[in-house]
Structure 1
Amino acid sequence: MTVPTALPAGTHSRTVTTTMSGRELRLFFGAVLPHASTDDTLPPITMLTLDVAGGVLHALATDRYTLGIARHPLPSGTPGAFTLGVPAAAVRAVISHIKLRASVELTLSAEALTIDQFDPQVRYHLPASDARPVLPDWRTWLAERLTATPEPVLTAARGIVLNPTYLARFRSAPRDGLGIEMRPAGRCMVITCGTHFLGLVMPMDLSKVHAEAPDPLTGWLPTPPSSRQNAA
């Protein structure tokens, strides 16, 4: 895990700066951190990708079973377009110390993420990782999947099977009382919450098991009267 260090004196780089409250920071990063892997043998999927483009900051994490993306608008007229990756574990450790009511300033460049908390004043500096982003062209990758026709694993008569452990990762996405919406696309379920979060979860393919097992609804409900009359 990368340990926060003091910002080196004399460091200069094209940077983007945005401010938010401690609560907003926790919600922003907290929505995507559950999707990062903890398997240190595969560094790219343990990273939190931060993407600056078009006046919007995106945060993305995936362990290839689920994916989460959150976005936050940058100040009007913010220039720049770059991507950096920082260890998700380091970000998780930092935000656990951020006070909910504190004012926070994020400074991003291709080289590092710096988080300044005011009152009390603390600075955290996370250098960018050398690991290649797991999804370097995530917009194109995502568009291809979101526009794909749902495959049989998502359209079977028995419905969709989701791993509850993976589904639970999305409980951090909602804010301000919003619910999550789900829809099928290609081989995955697309999960959105308001306009600030988008995610994917892979379903479990139990088609062979379903072919040999009875419908789980069998025996739960009585036979409707109309069905008994038709059978007679």
Structure 2
Amino acid sequence: MTTLSAARLHRILQQTTLHMSDDETLPVIHGLRLDSDGVTLHAIGTDRYTLAIARTPLHQQGDAWARTLPATEISTLNVWLSGRADDERTLTLTPGDDTLTVADGAARLTVPTLTTDYPAWRDIARTALVNPLSPTPTRLRPALLARFRNAGETAQVWHSTPGKPLIVLAEDYLGLQVPTRTGAQEPDQADALAQWATTLGTTGPRAQLVPPRPAPGAAEKLNEQLLQQTILDLDEAHAATTNNLPLYSAWADAAVNAWTAHRLLAALRIADPDRAAALAETLTEEVEGALGELAHDAARADGYDPLRWQQEYAADKAERAALRAPITA
């Protein structure tokens, strides 16, 4: 039995689906491979021109298994997951002899799997990574490069010796693209300069593109704000006099809440970076809007009574104020 979040399963399927073969006469690769080593679940797709491996950690250690899902079942599974990918739901994956069952509580989806062997994707990827690097240019098909658009926000790309795959590396993602073979002599650097000499000239000052420093994402900004708030609120608490206990308590509580939020965000960024980024963006919009109304709606949705909270707090506040009131003769 394998457990993981619906969002993470949906992500690794999206990252690899574009790479599976669309040739129905090749059923072995006309689908996606799901491979669990008991700690990490991998999704693999290839059509022999490109190969993509996406991975995600499991919630708890389980059994090792591997199954190939036919292409006809991938769309069914994606549709089933799409309604669950926005929730923090835990799914259970149970492989059968020729099936895979995905369960979300009482809701279950069982899809058939192939029993044929899948290409040795671990050996293929490892071989590509250990090939020595070379400055020799390689011809690629741009249309195939588009398959890597779901790899992540950014990716590293490098190329080894001529004729070897282009490597695309992102967070928990490894992709390979095989070069295109034309049979003709490929132009080298001197040929390229000669072809573009009339446009670019042959001499001139050296220059290069200088990309702007990437702006931190919403999750990074929120993390910084929470840490800053923790530190500054503690400074305010320490500055409060012992005679002003309510003020000290207020600043201390604010610091504790900010630190708690920071720790929860840090855990989410490790467990699901995409969800952390989306949540941070949503929080930015919420705090700039009707936060009180949103909090009331959320409390009621979870079965609480926010009005009772306010009434009990007001009564407790009035009682404490009466105790502090001076006694007059």
Q: TM-score, normalised by structure 2?
A: 0.53
Which residue does the alignment assign to 1:165?
Answer: 143
Tell me, in whole angstroms, the C-alpha distance in 2 between the residues paired with 1:217 and 1:33: 38
Tell me, in whole angstroms, the C-alpha distance in 1 between the residues paired with 2:160 and 2:14: 25
Q: 1:88 to 1:144 in 2, by over 3 A?
A: same
Could you tell me which runs of 5 or more consecutive residues in structure 1 were left unpaired when the two chains were aligned. Answer: 1-15, 227-232
Q: Is the 8 A contact 1:33 1:92 kept in 2?
A: no
Q: Is the 8 A contact 1:44 1:133 kept in 2?
A: yes
Q: Is the 8 A contact 2:4 2:92 kept in 1?
A: yes
Which residue does the alignment assign to 1:125?
Answer: 110
Which residue does the alignment assign to 2:260?
Answer: none
Tell me, in whole angstroms, the C-alpha distance in 2 between the residues paired with 1:51 and 1:160: 31
Residue 12 of structure 2 aligns to a residue in which SS? helix
- CA deviation after TM superposition for structure 1 residue 85, in Å: 1.1
CA RMSD in angstroms, aligned pairs only: 2.7
Superposed CA deviations along residues 16-57 of structure 1, whole A, max 9, x for unmatched, are 221313x43321110011110111111111121111115111
Which residue does the alignment assign to 2:77?
Answer: 94
Aligned pairs for 1:1-232 within 5 A: 16-21=1-6, 23-76=7-60, 78-97=61-80, 98-99=82-83, 100-102=85-87, 103-109=89-95, 111=97, 112-117=99-104, 122-135=107-120, 138-150=121-133, 155-156=135-136, 159-174=137-152, 178-186=153-161, 187-194=164-171, 196-205=172-181, 208=184, 210-211=186-187, 215=192, 216-225=195-204
Which gives a bigger RCO, structure 1 or 2 (Cα 8 Å, sep 6+)?
Answer: 1
- CA deviation after TM superposition for structure 1 residue 206, in Å: 5.0
The aligned amino acid for 2:25 is T
- CA deviation after TM superposition for structure 1 residue 200, in Å: 0.3
Q: Is the 8 A contact 1:104 1:115 kept in 2?
A: no
The aligned amino acid for 2:77 is V
Residue 71 of structure 1 aligns to a residue in which SS? strand
Residue 203 of structure 1 aligns to a residue in which SS? coil
- CA deviation after TM superposition for structure 1 residue 122, in Å: 4.1
Which 10-residue stretch deviates more, 67-76 or 122-131?
Answer: 122-131
Q: 1:61 to 1:122 in 2, by over 3 A?
A: same
Q: Is the 8 A contact 2:35 2:67 kept in 1?
A: yes
Q: 1:221 to 1:211 in 2, by over 3 A?
A: closer
Q: Is the 8 A contact 1:188 1:202 kept in 2?
A: yes
Residue 96 of structure 1 aligns to a residue in which SS? helix
Structure with greater helix percent: 2
Q: 1:123 to 1:225 in 2, by over 3 A?
A: closer
Tell me, in whole angstroms, the C-alpha distance in 1 between the residues paired with 2:8 and 2:64: 23
Structure with greater strand percent: 1
Bigger-Rg structure (1/2):
2
The aligned amino acid for 1:198 is L
Q: 1:56 to 1:48 in 2, by over 3 A?
A: same
Give the paired residue count.
Answer: 197
Q: Is the 8 A contact 1:189 1:203 kept in 2?
A: yes
Tell me, in whole angstroms, the C-alpha distance in 2 between the residues paired with 1:88 and 1:106: 21
Could you tell me which runs of 5 or more consecutive residues in structure 2 were left unpaired when the two chains were aligned. Answer: 206-329
Identical counterparts, % of pairs: 27
